[in-house]
Structure 1
Amino acid sequence: MYTISDYLLDILKYLRVTDVVGVPGDYNLNFLDHLEQRTDLTWRGNLNELNAAYLADGYARKNGFSALVTTFGVGELSALNGLTGSQAERVPVLEIVGTPATTTQQTRQLVHHSLPHQDFSFSKQIHQNLGIITGQITVNNAITEINRVIQAMLQTKQPGYLQLPVNLANLQVNPVFKTRIPTLIAGSTKPETPPLTLLNDICQQLNTAQHPVLIIGSAVERFHLKNVVQKFITKHQLPFVDLNESKGVIDENIPQFIGTYTGNISNPVVQQFMQQADLYLALGPILSDVSTGGFTQTFANYNTILLTPQEINFLGEQRFPANPENFTATIKALCQSPNVCHQAGPTNPFQLTPLPSGQQQPLTEDFYRQALETFVQTGDTLVVEHGTSLFALENNRLPGDNCYICQSLWAAIGYTFPAALGASLANRQHRVILSIGEGSILLSLQELAFAIKNQLKPLIFILDNQGYTIERVIQGLTASYNDVPQLNYQTLLPAFGATAKTAQFFDVKTNAELISVLKKLQPANQPLTIVQLRLEKTDAPANLKKFSKLVKKNNQK
C-alpha cells in the first residue's frame, strides 16, 4: 500500500536528501516506521530537537534541502529557534511534525504535549507569525498541501513546517503521484520574465560608471546564481567584494576579488577601494550590523542598485514587486545581457601564504588566523561560529571551491557545531573544518555522541579563552556572567563512545604546537578531531574590538 508518508519521503529522496534527522515521539512514530523501511533514506536521531534543527540547517546549506522530524508541542517548540534561523537566512529546511490524531484535535482532548486551553492550532500560528511556510495535512488535502509547501520552499528558499496527524501517516494515496514528483519539482521554477526597463537602466549605469563594484550576498548562492554571476564578473572584469555571510560564494581566488567587506572595520585596502567606487551593484545581501560593520558601509541609496528577493531598489527608487522570481530573472538577464560593455577592473592574483613558522610563544588569535588560512584547502567546508571565530577569519582568503557556513544575521550561539555535523552528513567526501568557542560548543556538545555514532569526521578547533569573549569585549570584561565551565575534552571523547581509532585530541598552547598539529592534520581521511586552542582570556581580534564599540554605542541609543 502506497501512503502519504511514502509520497513525502519520495519527494525528499528526489531532492537528494539521503538522511532525515530529528527526535522520535509517539505522534511521529507511524511516519518514522515508513522511513525505517526505506533502503534509500536513513534515520539519524539527534539528542534534542534544537540541535536537530541546527543540523538540518547545515545539511541544507550543503545539499540544497533537508528535513527534520519532531513531535507536537514540546518537540517542535524546542526546534523553533533553529527553524527561525533558517527563515532569517533563507535555508530550505522542512520540519515534519507529528501531531495528535484528527479526532483528538476535533474533540479538544487534553492530551500530553498540549496546552490547558486545548487549542491545537497554537504552534502552527507561531510558525506562521515568524514567516515560516506552514501546512497541515488532512484527509482531503494531503497531496495538495504537501505539494504547496514543497513548491513554496523551493521558490523562496525558506523553511517549511508540515503537520502530519498520527492517524494519517498511513493514509493511502494513489501511487501515480510518485511519477509526478519530477513535474512537481520542475513546477517550482516559475517562468521568468526579466523587467526590461530595470535591466536597461542597470546596464547603462554599469557602462557609464568609472569605478563600479559588485557586492555579493548570500542569496546568490541560495538561488543557485553563483555560476552565472561569476562568469559575468570574469567576462567584464568587474571587481567584487563579498560579505561574511557570503564568503566563497564567488571564488575568492579569481583576480577580480577585492576582499571581504565589513564597513569601517574592513581591511584598509578594501575600505579604500570601496570609498573610491562610484556605483555599487549589490546582489542578494543581508545588510545587517554584522555584515556592514555596525552600519558603517560607504554606499547609500543614491549610488547603489540593490537586488534582493525582498527588495529591488534602483539608486533609491523602489522598482517592481520584490519577489524571488524578479530577483533571479533580473540577475540572470543582466549577467547574460549583450548590453554590458564594461571592461575595466583590478587584478588581484591569489598567492597562498606559506605556513608561518611557529615559535614556543603563547598561542594568539592572530597567529591562529594566519595558520588556518594556510591550512584550508580547495574543496573544504569551513563552518565559523558567530563569535571571535567569525571576526578572526572573515578576512582570510579562501583558496577556491569552498563552502563557508556562518549565521551572520540570526547568530544563534551553539549553532555551528550541529551545523558542521549536518554539512558532514550531507557530503562525507568533503573535509569539514569547524572553528568555535568553548562557550558556544557547550550549548550543543551532546551531539558529539551523534557524530561518533554516525562516523562523522569534522576537524573541530575550539578557541578556549575561558568565557564568552565576544560578550567580554562588548561589556563585562571581567564579569562572572561571561565565564563558562572548563571541560576536559580529551576525556569526553571516550565518554561519548569514541575509541583511539575513531577520534583524536590535541591540546595546543603555543604557536609551535599549532603548526605541528596542522601538519599532522593535512593528510586526508583524518578521524574526528578536537583541537583545544588555549588562548589568553582577553585575546580578541582587532576588528571584533572595533565592532564591539559600535554595538555598545548602538545599544545605548
Structure 2
Amino acid sequence: MATADIRTQNLKEPVDVAEYLFARLHQIGIRSVHGVAGDFNLVALDYLPKAGLKWVGNCNELNAAYAADGYARVKGISAIVTTFGVGELSAINGIAGAYSEMIPVVHIVGCPSTMSQRNGMLLHHTLGNGDFQVFANMSASVSCAVARLNDPAEVAAQIDHALRECYVRSRPVYLMLPTDVVGKKVEGARLRQEIDFAESPNEEDREDYVVDVVLRYLHAAQRPVVLVDACAIRHRVLGEVKALLDRTRLPVFVTPMGKSGIDETHPSYGGVYAGDASQPAVREAVEGSDLVLSVGSLQSDFNTAGFSFRLSRLRTVDLHSGHCVVRYSEYPGVKMRGVLRKLAERIDLSQLKVRPPPSKTTGEELDQGSGGGDEVIRQEWFWRRVNRFFRAGDVIVTETGTANFGIWGTTFPAGVTALNQTLWGSIGWAVGATQGAALAVKDSESSRRTVLFEGDGSFQLTAQEVSTMIRHSLDVILFVICNEGYTIERFIHGMDAEYNDVAEWRYRDLVPAFGGTEAAGARTYAVRTKDELSRLLDDGDFNERPGLRFVEVYMPRDDAPAALKLTTEASARNKPKMQS
C-alpha cells in the first residue's frame, strides 16, 4: 500500500487540504476572498462555497491586493488568491504595501503540481528555467511567513502557523498551494481547536521595571501628553489606550496615520499632530510638553510633514509592539500592550498633572472657511464643508495626494474608521481599498457608510474596481476630485510639467459603462460650485440611498490643502539630508 494511502487511513477525520485552509479562513472572520481566477488555482476555488466563503473576482490582481488590504483594515484580516507567476507578481505591489503598512493579508498562490516542480517542466507562467521557487523567494521579503504546502503530513500545521503569524505580527503571509495537493487529505479534527491568536506576555519583572520607570517620569511631568500613531491601530492596543485616557484624562493627539485611532469626540482629544503642518495650538501643546507618551510611533516623511516633528528623546517615552524606549534607554522584548495596561492600573492620579487639550472646532465653525469669495470649490473650503457631512461610524478612505492631507483638518464623529496609505503611498490604492472596505462592512452586516475621496490621476490607475463595487451591490460614496492631474506631484516638483497631467476622462460615464444603473442603485453627480456641493451633501436622497453614489468634484489644478503645501515645503528643506 502506498505511503499516502496509509497516512490517509490513520486520519480520524480526513478533509481535503483546500477544505481545511478555507475552513480556517472562515473561522478567523473572513467571509469574502479577493483575487483573480487562473488555471493553477481553479480547483481550489471550487472549495470556497463549502467553507461559507464568497468569491469576489477582481478586475486584476493589483486591485485585488489593494482590496484585500482595505478589507483587512475593517474586518481584521483578509485573503487573496492569485495564480502562479503572472498573477502573484501583479499583486506583489499591493502585498508590499500591506507589509509596509502592517496589514494582515493571507496571500494564497495556486501553483503547478509538486511533480511538475520536481521535474523542472517547461510550463507557462514560468521563467522557462525550471525554477519554481523564484516567485516565492520574491514574496519572502514582503511576507512575515512563507509556507510551501507540498507535504500533506505538514500542511495543516503550516497553515495554522502562517495564519497565527499573519494576525499576531500584522503582516502578509504567503501560501504556495500546488494543484495536486489541493485534494490531498489532512486531519480535519484539528479544526475543532481554534488557532490561538493570543499575544505572548512580557516577562513580568522586565515589564514591571519599565512601568515603574515610565510612571516616575509621568508623575514628575508638568505637561504630559499622549501621541497615538499607526502601530497602535495595527497592533490592536486602542482599547488599552482608551482605558488609560478614561482614567487619567491626559490630553491625546494623533498623527496623520493614527487618525481615527482615538474617538475624536473624547474629551481628551486634541487634534492631529504633524509637525510644521499642525494647527498652531496642537503644535504648541505637543512640542511644549515635557513628556510625550508616544504609542506605536511610525515617523515616516509624510506622517511627520517632512520630518518636521520636534520631539526630543529626553522628553519622550516610545511604546512599540516589540520594544519600549524611555528617553535614551531601550527595553527589547517589552511589548506595549502589557505596559499600557499596568500604566492605567497603577498611575497615581494625585501625582498626575493634567492640562486640558486645545479647544476643538465644531463642524459648523469649520464650515465657515472662506475658501475665496467666489463659488469655486477650493481645497480649504471643501474639507471644512465635508467635515459636517461625516456621520458616526463612517469608513472614510483618502487617496495619496490632496485627500490624504486635506483630511487632517477634519474632526470625525464617534466610531469613524479612517483608511489611508501614508507610508507606502501607491496611487490608486484607495479605489481597491474602498471596494474591500465596503465589502467588509457588508460582510459584517453593518449599515456603516464607506466614503472615498479620490484624485482624478489616482483614479485612472484602478478605475476598473468601480465595476466590482457595482457587481457586489456595495454602498459607496465616491468623490473624484477633478483637478487635471497629479496635484501632490505638482507641489513636489513640476507645477506645469506635462508629466503631471492626465487625460481628461468623462468619469461619470464609467458607471453605466461598468454596468451601473439607477434601477440597481448606482447614481452619478457633478458639482462645480460651492452651492452645488452643499446642496448635494445636504440632500436626503443622496445621504440615504443604498448603492454607488459617484460624484465628480471640480477644483482648480494649482490648489492644495495647506497641510500638503507645508509638508512639501518641509520635505524640500530636508531633501539634502535625505539624499546625502
Q: Counterparts in 2 of 1:466-505, with a 5 A limit?
A: 466-501=484-519, 502-505=521-524
Overall identity of the aligned pairs, in %: 31
CA distance in 1, matches of 2:130, 2:572: 44
Deviation at 1:31, TM superposition (A): 0.8
Deviation at 1:271, TM superposition (A): 1.0
Q: Deviations over 1:252-302 (max 9, x none)?
A: 111211110111111111111122100111101211111111111110222
Q: Do the aligned residues in 2 keep the contact of 1:467 with 1:482 (CA within 8 Å)? A: yes
CA distance in 2, matches of 1:138, 1:437: 44
Q: Counterparts in 2 of 1:46-195, with a 5 A limit?
A: 46-139=58-151, 140-180=153-193, 182=194, 184-186=195-197, 188-194=198-204, 195=207
Task: Give the alignment's Cα RMSD to 1 decimal.
Answer: 1.8
Among residues 363, 369, 372, which one is paired with 1:353 in the alignment?
Answer: 363
Q: Counterparts in 2 of 1:389-404, with a 5 A limit?
A: 389-404=403-418
Whether 1:20 aligns to 2:33 is yes
Q: Do the aligned residues in 1 keep the contact of 2:244 with 2:340 (CA within 8 Å)? A: no
Counterpart residue number, 1:508: 527
Deviation at 1:550, TM superposition (A): 2.4
Which stretch has the larger CA shift, 523-532 or 157-166?
523-532
CA distance in 1, matches of 2:143, 2:30: 24
Q: Do the aligned residues in 2 keep the contact of 1:135 with 1:161 (CA within 8 Å)? A: yes
Counterpart AA for 1:332: R
Q: Deviations over 1:156-208 (max 9, x none)?
A: 1111111111110111122211112x2x234x432444511111101111111
Deviation at 1:343, TM superposition (A): 5.0
Q: TM-score, normalised by structure 1?
A: 0.95
Deviation at 1:365, TM superposition (A): 0.9
Among residues 441, 447, 451, which one is paired with 1:433 in the alignment?
Answer: 451
Q: Counterparts in 2 of 1:144-543, with a 5 A limit?
A: 144-180=157-193, 182=194, 184-186=195-197, 188-194=198-204, 195-321=207-333, 326-339=335-348, 341-346=351-356, 352-354=362-364, 356=367, 361-428=375-442, 429-501=447-519, 502-520=521-539, 523-543=543-563
Deviation at 1:338, TM superposition (A): 4.5
CA distance in 1, matches of 2:191, 2:516: 41
Q: Secondary structure, in 3 states, of the residue corresponding to 1:435?
A: strand
Counterpart AA for 1:506: Y
Among residues 31, 42, 60, which one is paired with 2:44 in the alignment?
Answer: 31
Q: Deviations over 1:498-543 (max 9, x none)?
A: 1123211111111101101101266323430111111111011122
Q: Deviations over 1:7-56 (max 9, x none)?
A: 11111111111101100111111110111444x21111000001000000
Which stretch has the larger CA shift, 275-284 or 124-133?
124-133
Q: Do the aligned residues in 2 keep the contact of 1:255 with 1:350 (CA within 8 Å)? A: no
Q: Do the aligned residues in 2 keep the contact of 1:134 with 1:160 (CA within 8 Å)? A: yes
Q: Deviations over 1:225-253 (max 9, x none)?
A: 21221121121110111011111111111
Q: Do the aligned residues in 1 keep the contact of 2:255 with 2:273 (CA within 8 Å)? A: yes
CA distance in 1, matches of 2:322, 2:400: 24
Which stretch has the larger CA shift, 263-272 or 53-62?
263-272
Q: Secondary structure, in 3 states, of the residue corresponding to 2:346?
A: coil
Which stretch has the larger CA shift, 111-120 or 453-462?
111-120
Q: Do the aligned residues in 1 keep the contact of 2:285 with 2:358 (CA within 8 Å)? A: no
Q: Secondary structure, in 3 states, of the residue corresponding to 2:276?
A: coil
Q: Do the aligned residues in 2 keep the contact of 1:254 with 1:350 (CA within 8 Å)? A: no
Deviation at 1:549, TM superposition (A): 2.0
CA distance in 1, matches of 2:143, 2:188: 32
Counterpart AA for 1:267: Q
Q: Secondary structure, in 3 states, of the residue corresponding to 2:302?
A: coil
- The gaps in structure 1 that reach 5 residues or longer are none
Which stretch has the larger CA shift, 313-322 or 440-449?
313-322
Counterpart residue number, 1:7: 20
Which stretch has the larger CA shift, 487-496 or 374-383?
487-496
Q: Secondary structure, in 3 states, of the residue corresponding to 2:222?
A: coil
CA distance in 2, matches of 1:451, 1:149: 30
CA distance in 1, matches of 2:440, 2:500: 34
Deviation at 1:333, TM superposition (A): 2.5
CA distance in 1, matches of 2:568, 2:361: 31
Q: Do the aligned residues in 2 keep the contact of 1:193 with 1:329 (CA within 8 Å)? A: no
Deviation at 1:57, TM superposition (A): 0.5
Q: Secondary structure, in 3 states, of the residue corresponding to 2:422?
A: coil
Deviation at 1:209, TM superposition (A): 0.4
CA distance in 2, matches of 1:342, 1:496: 59
Deviation at 1:135, TM superposition (A): 1.0
Deviation at 1:360, TM superposition (A): 6.2
Q: Secondary structure, in 3 states, of the residue corresponding to 1:436?
A: strand
CA distance in 1, matches of 2:347, 2:326: 20
Q: Secondary structure, in 3 states, of the residue corresponding to 1:523?
A: helix
Deviation at 1:334, TM superposition (A): 2.2
Q: Do the aligned residues in 1 keep the contact of 2:394 with 2:451 (CA within 8 Å)? A: yes
Deviation at 1:103, TM superposition (A): 0.6
CA distance in 1, matches of 2:294, 2:573: 27
Q: Deviations over 1:89-145 (max 9, x none)?
A: 111010000011001011111111111322111111112223532111122310111
